[in-house]
Structure 1
Amino acid sequence: MSIDIYQQCPCHEEKKIKFCCGKAVIEDLNDALAKHHSGQSQAALEQLERAMDTMGPKDCLTTFKTFVQISTQDVDGAEATNEAFLKRCPDHPTGLQHRALIEIMRGEVDQATLTLQDAMDAITGTELPVSLARAFESLGMALVAKQNILAARAHLSFALFLKEEDPRLTQLLHELFNPSGAVMFLKANHQLEPPVEGSEWEKSFTNVHRAVGRGQFRRALGMLLQLNEQYPNQPQITQGIAVVTSMFAPLSAQIAAWRNVASMETTKPKDAIEFHGLAEAIAAMSGSEGYVPVNRSSWEVENFEAISEACISSDSMIPMNPGPDHDPFDEGPAPRAGFLILDKPKLASADNLSLDNIPFSLGEVLLYGKQTDRSTRVEMVCVENARFNEAIGQLKKITGISTDPTTVAFDKVNQGSDAITWNWNLPDDTSREQHKELLGEMKKVALGRWLDLKHEFIDGKSIREVAGDASLEPWVQAKLLHLQQTANGEAFTPEAIDELRTELGIPKLELLAPSEDEFLTPMQICRIDAEKLSDDQLLGYFQIATMTQNFTGLKQLTPELLKREHIEGARRDICHVNMARFSESHEEALDHFAKSRAEAAKLGAPLGILLVAEFEYRLRNGLEDKLDSLLQTIESRHMNEQGVEQELARLFQSLGIHPGALPSSDGEPVEAAATESEPGGSETSSGLWIPD
């Protein structure tokens, strides 16, 4: 690979090499580039240093040297080279871009975000250097790691814009816009609205669009804030502030911006719910609101063997299986034993089973043997909720420990998730009917706990306390939708959430029938009125719902799409798979799977992914008669089809089983790996029952 003298100079000073500082050292640049690309980065650096000794610290040599040092993770060297360059050229966009990359390598992501904006503002010409894609991509990945998902999308999207084509980056963006398991609020792609034609601020708003298009997010926000002062209460401007803030600002600023838009009188109710929901989703990612500590309580003990025996013999202790194979605190050897501590003794049988006599787990207990620098000790890990003191007391009672522990917070958990999650220990002979009845009762208890949680946004009050405040209704509705989305998929159904609305005295959400020029977000698609959609709308929203894994939306859209047989381009085979998942009986579901295969045959479409879906349904629901033959068919004929191998691996991993461990002929549903946790109940959207 050699350098074309008509390409941009490595110093990125808006000039071609032939007319810039690189002309005199083109051979050195070529040699260094070839060595770096062949893995001889040290030789490339030596080549550049010799050229700098001869020709002086030309900008192109210095910036390329910094680039190589960054590529080899030589942070200190890169910083020294780059800062010397910036001392000579303080506002050079390449130097600022490299400074941002160095800050990312040092973990200074917030500062790197601002520095990269400095670099964008320093570019004076119309042409944007392609090398900026590296900085935007690196910063985007760093923002993903910090859970700043909206800003990560903006940076990675701009990197892709600069590169024009990059399949890996395209796939990454697809995953960021459609993260598996994320609430639908986070899957919306909110963008700047077009300016209002004829308005006094039309030209200025157009300039905001241009700034965003050049990656100048901070500049665009400054322009919007000025416009907001001149023309207050304009929905496009206020929403624009939230959109652009989310492109680069800290999560706390994003939360405030979206709540501001949601609270505007001019915001439509359905959009106010959407914006409040997005703010709540961002708050959940940030960990800044609504979190409670996970505590580590420690006792140093002398009678270790007696305590260990007490734990083993207690009916209120359940040994972890398998036991801990490492120290969860990364402080030394693994514990000798681990237990789940129950609030009451485990039951021998399911006779007269009720919520009052079921034992619930309070936390984890770990027993540590003597170490070189530490005595034998007992550790308990549990959430600092209303039962924390009960957990301490129960452990003292079981072990005979009389002293108080040393307690520190070492993690945190979302209080909403904690309220709707429970760990119980059911007897082995618990029937499916008993489990279902108890699950329904426990969901009501969990919802009651959830309604009584205190929230910072409403001045430390609970949802139950503010339910009658009309101004807070959009926020309450957003919280209810968030609950429905986060409570283990479909564990709290739309019908259950509607019952909650009735209890709170707030209206149920109406179905939405968008006009042709209106666009619904993924969350709004969950309550779409499919019958009122045009053919194009129906097909479009179905594709969006499929892409975003919006099962609630698909439940509305799929039956209507199947009714309209005249619509071309509809994947009716996929529609029938969806209908099978939504079916109320096994007979109905299996009929839809048969229809999906027939439709695929008409289209000449691959069958593998459809067979995996049927296999999953049969496996989860104990329909074991055809499992072996179905799996053999998939493995022998369809593993090379797109997505089949990955879906099969995902299924087995999610159930914690090996392909050979399929159910026997007793017809019982396959069990997942042993678990005590029931986040809103342990039923999945496919109807799997996991006995404890």
Structure 2
Amino acid sequence: MALDPYQLCPCGSGKKIKFCCSKDIVPELDKVIRAVQGEQRVSALSSVAKLIEEKGPRLALLALRADVELALGQLEQADKTIDEFLAASPDNPVALALSAIHAGGKNDLESAIEDLQQSLEHLGGVMPPSVYSAIGVVGQTLLAHGDVLAARGHLLMQVGLAGERDENPIRLLMRINMMPEIPLLLKQDYHYAERPEGAEWAEAFDIAMQQARKGAWVAACEKLDDLEEQFPDQGAILKNIAILSGWVGQRDEASIAWRKYSRLEGIPLDDAVEAEALAQMLDPNAERDELDSVAVIYTVTDVEKLMELLLSNSRVGRMPIDPAEMADDDGPPPKAAFWLLDKAVPESGVDLTREQVPNVLGEMYIYGKETDRPGRIEYSLVRDEDYDSRKQALAEFAGEFIEGEPTEEVLGPVPKVSAGLTWRWRLPDDTPAEKRTELVSEQRRESMLQRWPAMELKTLNGKTPRELAADPANQVRSLAAILLLELSNEQNSADFDFNELRRELELPTCDPIDPAHVDAMTLSLVQIPFVEVEKLSDEGLLTLYRRVVLKYAVTSIRIIAEEVLRRDSLNDTVDKNEAYDLLIRTATDSEDALRHVEDAKQATSERAESSARWLLAELSVRLSRYEAEQAQAIIQTLQLHHRDEPGVAQGLYEILASFGLITPDGTPPAMPAAAAQAAVAAQPAAADGGSALWTPDSPSESAPTEQKSKLWVPGMD
């Protein structure tokens, strides 16, 4: 179809071609645009260059040339073309959008945001394709820089503009939403606050919000900032400043506005706490609570004898890594890697108590003698309150084989709270899963209720949470700190009732929410777990279910999916297999996962359907628990009864490959049997048969190593 002269001119003026700079070159313009659409960009660029030579640097031609140069990666040429375009038309939205795309390609985030915002501010009427593309480029650049809040703001704007024409922004947005490591506060959809009726500042506010709704967020913010100076402490003004500042990456302004909003009189406590939590999360100037990860380097006099000691001592566990993979340009890899424990591993874990569990003091990397360097131990640990005693433990353990004063090398920072609430255990091989769960629950409660409240944190002005909570003026700030800890805990799928912590610090708890008094579509993601879901109608329940699944809100998924499964009235409305699958994937531990697997298998049996899906899910759990016999039985069942069902063979191979039991091409791996057995676990056992490291959220205890793997996999026979 020939180019319609009544289309908008590519130059960005907002005029139709017939009345703009390209009115006398419509056939030539049509040829160029067709070449671009057919991805014949080199030909298009040649045609544009010829037209510019003949007709002069018309804005439409400059727009097309810059667009094609960017697509071809000719960045220097694009830079010159865009500069020429902007010199001729400084406020042109297409020129500014192309400049934003160019800046994003150079990773110049600040310029990309500024150019895009100017483009949107000067835009009138229909949005040109280059402006739409610039929104996506800036959003993706923000995401690459780790600014999830601002990236989601841009992607949401692009989704609203795209309709059904472009699925890429909604796919990227969904991918972000499904990332469990992103806190729920950053996945929350923030809606503009409405002004109160009859406000003295209503007209100026409405003008600012008109700018905001067209995407000119910086211009809107400037107007709202002026309003805030004239009319301070207005909730609608402050909340909208906070939202808009966050979307353009101005984290400091967003943090200040959210904090001001949280302190306003009349703001509901839950809203105030979330606003303060966002302020703490976004504040770029806040002192971070971090500790140094350090390598303490000791000179070794006799590496071979030291190795004999390490391999024979029950206070040492061999780390399940291949030292050869640690080679770099600075020298050869370590000969071996070990954990130093604070006590010997008990013979049995059946009746184990927390006091008997060995803790890892640090990681030891043993290096042999080199031409220009003696043998050495690189002892990796965190510089916390136990740093000196951990160093002393190694000095006493290996003292006869080390000499001189050690040197220290800072490897990088680690979050203080994370380091303080994480523990690493070496459990006996026969520790039952139930015992492990019991020990974890005890340790987690102690960490949350005793250790965290006693931590001095810079983010709390050097106070401990317990000290801060004792001051009524800091109630919201204390609750916000707990909320951030709770969201971090959710990311790790850990099971702990944070109302216990609130009660411990004598703070208000999060009470049950009667759904009759809330709107399920606008309820904050962090408040959904407190909804009394049994009181919801089927429609209301499904509304919340879809919300929490789309945002991968783990705690809420567990609660709501359970309720969905309980209701027979939803059997024909919702895919209950999906609900079982979600419960398995978000389970707090392997026992919880197996319970859901059994429920799913039972439901499948009652419907006379194949259980292959749940057998594959169970296989993953059994392998993570080192349960070779049970895993073997599942594989045999799949082979005998389900191998011809769609997706079963592929699913089986993917699971076995993920645990290192077969290579991607389906053959057994070329590794020792002990290593194959180790691969069964998420926290693998090492070749010496007794050194698997277990951390609080790992799914299994360590397993004994045998001369031959118990697990048969396809191809072994």
TM range (shorter): 0.7 to 0.9
Contact 2:11 2:60 in 1 (8 A): yes
With structure 2 as the length reference, what TM-score do the two structures score? 0.80
Distance 2:77 2:296 in 1: 44
- Tell me the CA shift for residue 670 of structure 1: 6.2
- Aligned residue for 2:709? none
Go from structure 1 to structure 2 and tell me whether the alpha carbon gap of 1:163 and 1:487 turns closer, same or farther (over 3 Å shift): closer
Q: Where do residues 548-567 of structure 1 align in structure 2 (5 Å cutoff)?
A: 548-558=551-561, 560-561=563-564, 565-566=568-569
- Aligned residue for 1:541? 544
Is the aligned partner of 1:446 residue 2:447?
Answer: yes
Contact 1:340 1:362 in 2 (8 A): no
Go from structure 1 to structure 2 and tell me whether the alpha carbon gap of 1:403 and 1:577 turns closer, same or farther (over 3 Å shift): closer
- Partner of 1:449, secondary structure, is helix
- Aligned residue for 2:416? 415
Is the aligned partner of 1:260 residue 2:257?
Answer: no
Distance 2:385 2:654 in 1: 36
Q: Where do residues 337-348 of structure 1 align in structure 2 (5 Å cutoff)?
A: 337-344=335-342, 346-347=344-345
Contact 2:615 2:634 in 1 (8 A): no
- Tell me the CA shift for residue 212 of structure 1: 2.4
- Tell me the CA shift for residue 511 of structure 1: 0.6
Output the aligned Cα RMSD.
Answer: 4.2
- Aligned residue for 2:573? 569
The residue type equivalent to 1:173 in the other structure is: L
- Partner of 1:412, secondary structure, is strand
- Aligned residue for 1:97? 97
Is the aligned partner of 1:241 residue 2:251?
Answer: no
Distance 1:559 1:153 in 2: 30
- Partner of 1:150, secondary structure, is helix
The residue type equivalent to 2:461 in the other structure is: D
Q: Which moved more, 1:297-306 or 1:378-387?
A: 297-306
Is the aligned partner of 1:531 residue 2:534?
Answer: yes
The residue type equivalent to 2:682 in the other structure is: A
- Tell me the CA shift for residue 513 of structure 1: 1.4
- Aligned residue for 2:674? none
Q: Which moved more, 1:309-318 or 1:589-598?
A: 309-318
1:671 to 681, 684, 706: 681
Report how many residues are paired.
Answer: 669
- Cα distance per residue 1:313-339 (max 9 Å; x no partner): 5745544433244558x6545623352
- Tell me the CA shift for residue 674 of structure 1: 1.1
Contact 2:339 2:361 in 1 (8 A): yes
- Aligned residue for 1:140? 139
Q: What stretches of structure 1 of length at least 5 have no aligned partner?
A: 662-667
Contact 1:620 1:670 in 2 (8 A): yes
- Tell me the CA shift for residue 520 of structure 1: 1.5
Q: Which moved more, 1:241-250 or 1:546-555?
A: 546-555
Q: Which moved more, 1:217-226 or 1:500-509?
A: 500-509
- Aligned residue for 1:152? 151
Go from structure 1 to structure 2 and tell me whether the alpha carbon gap of 1:324 and 1:52 turns closer, same or farther (over 3 Å shift): farther
Is the aligned partner of 1:384 residue 2:383?
Answer: yes
1:629 to 634, 637, 640: 637
- Aligned residue for 1:128? 127
Q: Where do residues 166-185 of structure 1 align in structure 2 (5 Å cutoff)?
A: 166-185=166-185
- Aligned residue for 1:69? 69
- Tell me the CA shift for residue 47 of structure 1: 3.4
Distance 1:258 1:442 in 2: 35
Go from structure 1 to structure 2 and tell me whether the alpha carbon gap of 1:295 and 1:492 turns closer, same or farther (over 3 Å shift): closer
1:462 to 433, 442, 464: 464
Q: Which moved more, 1:565-574 or 1:263-272?
A: 565-574
Go from structure 1 to structure 2 and tell me whether the alpha carbon gap of 1:181 and 1:287 turns closer, same or farther (over 3 Å shift): farther
Q: Which moved more, 1:257-266 or 1:486-495?
A: 486-495
- Aligned residue for 1:511? 512
Go from structure 1 to structure 2 and tell me whether the alpha carbon gap of 1:77 and 1:26 turns closer, same or farther (over 3 Å shift): same
- Partner of 1:526, secondary structure, is helix
Q: Which moved more, 1:133-142 or 1:557-566?
A: 557-566
Distance 1:400 1:200 in 2: 77
Distance 2:67 2:238 in 1: 40
Distance 2:370 2:77 in 1: 41
- Cα distance per residue 1:143-162 (max 9 Å; x no partner): 11122111101111222333
- Cα distance per residue 1:389-431 (max 9 Å; x no partner): 44544555535142342423x4332222222212222333444
Distance 1:455 1:428 in 2: 37
- Tell me the CA shift for residue 138 of structure 1: 1.1
Distance 1:179 1:159 in 2: 20
The residue type equivalent to 1:543 in the other structure is: R
Contact 1:443 1:681 in 2 (8 A): no
The residue type equivalent to 1:682 in the other structure is: S
2:489 to 487, 490, 493: 487
Go from structure 1 to structure 2 and tell me whether the alpha carbon gap of 1:645 and 1:248 turns closer, same or farther (over 3 Å shift): farther
- Tell me the CA shift for residue 346 of structure 1: 4.5
Q: Where do residues 589-628 of structure 1 align in structure 2 (5 Å cutoff)?
A: 590-595=598-603, 598=606, 612-613=616-617, 624=631, 625-626=633-634, 628=636
Distance 1:356 1:571 in 2: 46
Contact 2:5 2:17 in 1 (8 A): yes
- Aligned residue for 1:664? none
- Tell me the CA shift for residue 345 of structure 1: 5.8
- Partner of 1:411, secondary structure, is strand
- Aligned residue for 1:665? none
Contact 1:130 1:162 in 2 (8 A): no
- Cα distance per residue 1:470-489 (max 9 Å; x no partner): 33333333433433443375
Distance 1:533 1:435 in 2: 36
Contact 2:684 2:693 in 1 (8 A): no
Q: Which moved more, 1:501-510 or 1:612-621?
A: 612-621
Go from structure 1 to structure 2 and tell me whether the alpha carbon gap of 1:657 and 1:511 turns closer, same or farther (over 3 Å shift): farther
The residue type equivalent to 2:478 in the other structure is: V
Contact 1:178 1:187 in 2 (8 A): no
Q: Where do residues 213-362 of structure 1 align in structure 2 (5 Å cutoff)?
A: 213-282=213-282, 289-297=287-295, 299=297, 305=303, 309=307, 313=311, 315=313, 318-327=317-326, 332=330, 335-344=333-342, 346-347=344-345, 349-350=347-348, 355=354, 358-362=357-361
With structure 1 as the length reference, what TM-score do the two structures score? 0.82
